[in-house]
Structure 1
Amino acid sequence: MQRHFVEARYRLPMRRMVWLGCLLMLGVGALMTLVWLLGPSMDELGLAATVGIMLLSLGCMGLARAKQWDWVVRCFVWGNWLLTLLLVWRAGGFYSPAVIAFPAWLMVTVWVQGLRPALLMLVASVAVLGVFWWSFPVLSLSPAMQTTAALLSLVHVPGMMALVLMISLQARISLGRRVQKGQAMLATLEASQNELRKFYRAVEQNPESIVITDTELKVVYVNEAFLARSGYVREQVLGQSTELVSTMGLDQSHRQRALKQLAAGSVWRGEMTNRASNGEALRESVLVAPIRTPQGEVVNYVELKRDLSERVLAERHIHDLVYLDSLTGLPNRHSLTLHLRELIHTQQGDCHGLLLLDVDRFSVFNDVHGMQHSDELVQLMGARLVEVLPDDTWIARIAAAEFAIVFASLHPHAEGVEEQLSQYAHTLKKALQKPFSLNSWVETELVSCCMGGVVLEPASRGGNDALRFASVALHEAKQKGPGSLVLFEPRMAQDVRRRVRIAKDLHNGIPQGELRMYLQTQADARGRCVGAEVLVRWQHPKWGLVSPAEFIPVAEESELIVRLGDWVLRQACLLLATPALAGRGLRLSVNVSAFQFGHEDFMSSLEQVLQETGANPHQLTLEITEGAVVRDLDQARTRIEALTRMGIESSLDDFGTGYSSMYSLQRLPIHELKIDQSFVSGSHRSEKDAALVEAMLLMARRLQLRVVAEGVELSEQALQLIQWNPDIVLQGMLLGKPLPEQQWLAQVLGVDQGGVQHAAEKT
C-alpha cells in the first residue's frame, strides 16, 4: 500500500516530465529537419526519421490532452527509441556518434517507466548494437586493430549503458526513499495539523468562555463564546489586562490572593460578577490554570469561565416560589410565618399588630364570574392594600382572597396597638368603598372584607400562634357578618379548642353509645299526650351531659350532623315500633338538619331504617327548617312529596323566623306548622306578638295545616292559644321538660321501663 502511495505521489511529476520531454523532442525534431533541409545533401530516410520525431511528439501531446497517460509514456519512450534506432543506422551504425542516444533513453525509461521497462530496453539496445557492430566493421584500422577495437567497443558501450542504468536506478531509489520519508513527514505534519485544528475548533466553538493570557495576564486569545457573552470585539481585548476585560469582578484583596496562588503554580477557582461591554452584570464561575512547557516553565494562563446566569435565574425562581405569591407578587404564608418569628424574637420593646383581611362572599364571586376575574380581583386587592397602607407595612397573601398585614412597633402597650389596628381597619374599609374596575370587563365591583386582628408582644411564643389567633378572630368576624372587625381575645382560642375537642369526641362518641334520646311531650287542648319531639343529649365521659346548643352547631360544620341525624331517626323509629307507642297511635317529631335533608342518601337511608325497625311511617313527623327548603326548593318539594307517599308527614319548623315562610307555604306540600317560641313567649303580653300568632293560626286553619306551638311555659299562653285555635298542639315547659326516653315513657305514659326496654331490644 505504501508503494502504491509513493507511486501515486510520483505520478504528477512524471507526467510533467513526459510533457516537457514531448515539447523538447518536438523542438529537437524541428531542428534536425531544418538541418536536413538546409544541408548540402539530403537523405530521405533520415528526413523521414526527424519528421517522425515531430509527429510522435505531437501525437503524445494529443494523448496527454485526452488523459491517456499510460499510452503517452509508452509512445514517448519506445517511439523515440525506435526513431533513434533508425537515425543511428543511417548515421553509420555502431560507431556513429548517435549511439549516445541509447544511454539517454535508457535513463529516461528508468525515470518514467521503472526497472522492468529499463531492463527490457537495455537488452533490446544491446542486441541492436550487436547487430550494428556486426554489420558495420571498423575500416580505417589494420585487421588486428579492427578486431581489438571492435571487441573493446562491444564491451565498453554496453558497460556504459549498464552503468547509466545502475546509477539511474540508485538515484531513483534514493529519491524514492527521500520522497517516502518526506511524504511520511508530511502525513505526520498533516495529522498534527488536523489535531491542532480539532483542538482549535474545540476551543473556539466551546460554549463556555475561554481566555488565554501571557505570564503578565495580558490577553493573547479569546474564543467566540467570550466575545458573544461580553459584547467585546476581539481587537478590543487582545493585549489588555484581564483586570479590565475579563475578571473585573474581583476586588483588590481577592485578586492579590489569586495572583499569589497562581504564582505558586496552583489552579485558582472562584465566582464573581463581571461586566459586559455595555455594563450588564455577568455572574460567572472562573477557573484559572497555568500552561507549562515540557520543562515545567509557566508560559501562559488559561481562564475557563462558566455562565451562571441560568443558575441565578433558577435560584431566584425557586426563591420566588418559596417566599412569594405567584399571583400578586406579595409574600406568601411561609414568608409571613418567618417574618412574624423574626419580628417577635429580634425586636424588643414595642408591641406589633397583625391584621387578617378576607374578602366577603369571594366564593360566590368566583362561582359567578369565574377564576380569571377572581384572580384579577385578588391582584387589584393586593395593589389597593399596597397603595393605601404606609410604606413600612408588611403585606402578604396567604389564601384565596385572604391577606395578612403586619404593623411593626405600633405602641408600647397592647391597648394602644388595638386602638391603632381599629384605625387601620377603618382606613381599609374606607379605601374599599372605592369600586374595583376590572380590565376584563366593563362593570365595577364593590368589595367588603371581614378583618381579624391580634396584638403581637415581644414575649409571645412565635409567629404560628399569632397567625392562629388572628385566624380565630377572623372566623369570629365572619360569624358576625360582612365588613366586621374582631380583635382576638383569649377566650376565643379556648372556644376554638373546645369546638375542636367536641368534634373529635363526638366523632368517637356516636359509635360508642354516648348519645341519649330525650322526649318532650306534645299535648292537645285537653292536655292529652298526642306525641313528643325527639331530642338528643350527649353524655360525655368527662364533661357529663353536654347541651345540644353546644355540640349540634359543631356537628353542622361537618358530616357529623348526618351521622347524628341518622342515629336520632333510628332511635325514634325503634321507639315507634314498640307497643307503648305503636298501640296508642302517638306521633314522634324528629328534627332534620338542612345538610342531612339535602344529602343524596337521605331517602334511601330513611327507607332502610323504617324497614329494619318496622316503625309505622304514619306516626313519624319530620321537622324541616326553612334553611333546608331555601337551598333547593325544587328538591325540597320533590322529597316532601316522596315522604308523603311513604306516609311520613312534614313540619315547617321555626315558622315565622324565615324570610320565605309564606313562599314556602305556597310551594311545599307540608302538613304542619311549628310556631317558633319567640312569638309564643310574648303572645300573652304583647299585642304585636299576639296579632302575629293569631294570624298564623288563622292562616293554618284556612290551609288545613296542623299547628304546634313550642315554648309554652305559662297557662295564660296556653289558654290564649287554645282560644284562637282549639285544635292546636302545645309543647313546652308547662307540659313538662325534656326527659330521657325510659323516664318519659314511665312518667308520661305510665309504661314499665323494663318492659319498654325489653320490647325495644326485641324489635
Structure 2
Amino acid sequence: MHEVVSVDFVGGTTAVCDAVIRLRGEALTQELGRIIRDLLSSPVGRFVAGPGGVEPGQAGGNYGNALRHAVSAGTEQFGYYEVSGRDYCDGDYRQIEAIAKLTAHLMQMQALAQRSTHAYAQMELQLAHQSQILDQIHESVLTMDQMGYITSWNRGAEELFGYSALEAIGRNILFLYADEEEGFHDVFAEQGGRMMEVRRRKKSGEVFWASLSLSPLRDLAERPIGLIAYLTDITERKQAEERLHHLAYYDALTGLPNRTLFGRLVDQALMVAQRNEALGCVLFLDLNRFKRINDTLGRRIGDELLRQVAQRFRDTLRDEDVVARLSGDEFAVGLFDIRQHFEATTVAQKLQAVLDAPFYIGGQELRVGASIGISVYPQNGNDAETLLGLADIAMERAKKGEANPDRSVAFYSDDMNQGMQERMRIETGLRHALGNGELILYYQPKFEIGSGRIVGAEALVRWVHPQRGLVPPGEFIPLAESTGLIVQVGEWVLEQACAQAAVWQRAGLPPFRLAVNVSAREFTQSLPARVADTLARYALDPSWLELEITESTLMHDFERVTGIMDRLTALGVALSLDDFGTGYSSLSYLKRFPIHTLKIDRSFTTGIPGDQSDCAIAGTIISMARQLGLRVIAEGVETVDQLDFLRDSGCDEVQGYLYSKPLPAYDFERSLRDNWLLLS
C-alpha cells in the first residue's frame, strides 16, 4: 500500500520552495518555522539556521512529544527543523524528514547559484581590470588566432596603428604588413616568444619600424590557440641607427660607400666569386688636376666638383658594381659580374670618358680626368685590402707611364698590362677604321651540292690596317662584341653589302642570296626598319638579302624575337640560323621561328667523317631540317670526304675552302660569272 500524501504536505513543499527562492536571513528562518508548525500541526515549531543540533546524516530524535531533523545535503549542513507540543508518530517523522531533504536540496542549489554568480561577477571584474591595465600601458597588445585573424586589440594598438578595435578585430594580421613578401606563417610566428624588428603600415599609409614579440596564446588545457603580439614603435631608434651606420660607412660629401664599407662589400663579393669560380677586378681611380682646382678656387668648389664626379661615376656603372670614395680625389670600383679581366678595361675607359665633358660650377668651366689602376682576383690577391693596394700601385704606374694621364689605364700584372695595351690599341684602331675606310667586305661563295652552282655568298668583314695589313677577324670581332662596337660594325656591313648587291643587280646578274651576319646586340626592334630603309635607299630587291642570326639570339624573350623575325620576313628578306647546334635553342621553339635555312657550325663539320659524334650531330640536323621543311648549309667544308658525307646525308649547300676562300668583290663576281657560264 502506498501512503497518500496530504494536500497540506504538497502545499507545504510548495511553500518551502517559494520561501527558499524569495527570502533570506531571519525572514527565511521565520517562514520555514511557520511552515513546519502548520504542516505538523504543532504548537511549537521552528527552523534553526546553521550547523548544530543534529549531526548530518542522523535521523533526528524524540518520537514522543518532540521531533528534530537536520537540513543537510552530503557534508553540507544548513540547519535543522524542530517541532514539539503534541505526541508524534512515524508518519510525522517521515513528513519532517521529507521537508528537511527538500529544504536542504533547495538551499544547496541556491548556494551554488550564488557562488557561481559571485565567481562570474569576480571574473567580469578581473577581466575589466585587465582590460583597463592593457589600455593604460603604452605598448600595443593584440591577440590573434592560429590563422592570423585578430581577436583582441588594446588602446595602445589603436593609437599605434590608427585603427579602432571595431575596425581591426576579425581582420587578418596581414593587412598591417608593409612588406608583401613577409608571411604570417614564418618561423617566428610558429615558434613564438621571439623578438624581431619588422616594418608595419598604419591606417594613414605611413610605414614604421616596430619591435615585435610573439608569445603563444593557450586555452585552459594548455593547448595553443593563437598568439599574443606586443609591438613598440622603434622608428626613431632605427633612423638613428641608420644615421650612425651612414656616418660610419658612407662618405658624407658624395654619399658613396667609404673605404671601410668598400672593403666589406668587395670581400663579400669575392666569397661569391670564389664559389662560382668567377673573376673580379678592383679599379683604383685618381683624379688629375683636382688638387690645383681645389687649391685655386677653394674647398667649396672642390667639394661640389667631387659630388658631380661621383654622380657621373654612379650613373655610368651598373647597379651590381661597387663604387666608393676612398679619400680626397681617390675613388675605387669593384667589378665582379665579368667573364674576362680585360672587360675591366672597357669600364675604365667609360669612366674616363664621362669626365670628358666640362663641369660648370660657380660660374667656372672645370675639367678633370682620371688615371686608373686595375688588380684582378684571384691572380693578384684574395681580399679587398690586397687588391686595393695593388690597384693603387698600378694606378701610379698608369699616371707616370702615359703621355695622356686622362686616358691611362694599367693592370698590376705585367702580362695583363701588355694584353690590355694591345687590346686598347686594337679597340682604338677599330674605332679609327670605322671612320677611315679601313674595313672592306669579302664574299665567300655558297655552293649547291647537287648542281655545283653558286647560289649565294656570305659577306665577311675584313680590316686592312695601314701598318699591320690584313687583321684576322678572330682578333677584332670578339673585341667588337665585348665593347659594343659590333653594332657599328654590323651597321657598316649591312650598308656595304646592300650597296654591292645593288651594283650586281643593276649589272643584270641573276638574284642570289647575299648573307649578312647580325649579332645579338643588333637584333632589336629597330632592325626591321633599318633593313627596310637600307633596301629602299639602294633600290635593292629583298630577294638579294639574307640575314644570318646566331642561335644565342633566340635564347631570350621568345615573343620579342619572333616579332622581329616576322617583320623581317614580311620585307621579303630570308633568315638563316647560324652556328646551329652550338647553343641551347628549344626544338619546340625552332619550328615556330620563320627560318629558311639552318647552317651547321664548322665545329661539327671539321670532324666529319672520322668523328662519329660529329657525324651523328650533322646527320641529325640535316634530317630534322628536312622534316621542318628547311634548307641546310654546312660551313667549313675543306675535304672531299666531308663533302661526300654531307651529300649522302642530304645536305643542300656547302661553303668552305674546298670550293673557295672568301674573295674581294671583283674576284667573287668573276668566279660567279665563270660558275654560271660553266654550268649553263
Please state which structure has a larger fraction of its residues in helix: 1
TM-score (norm: length of structure 2): 0.42
- Greater gyration radius: 1
Please state which structure has a larger fraction of its residues in strand: 2
TM-score (norm: length of structure 1): 0.38
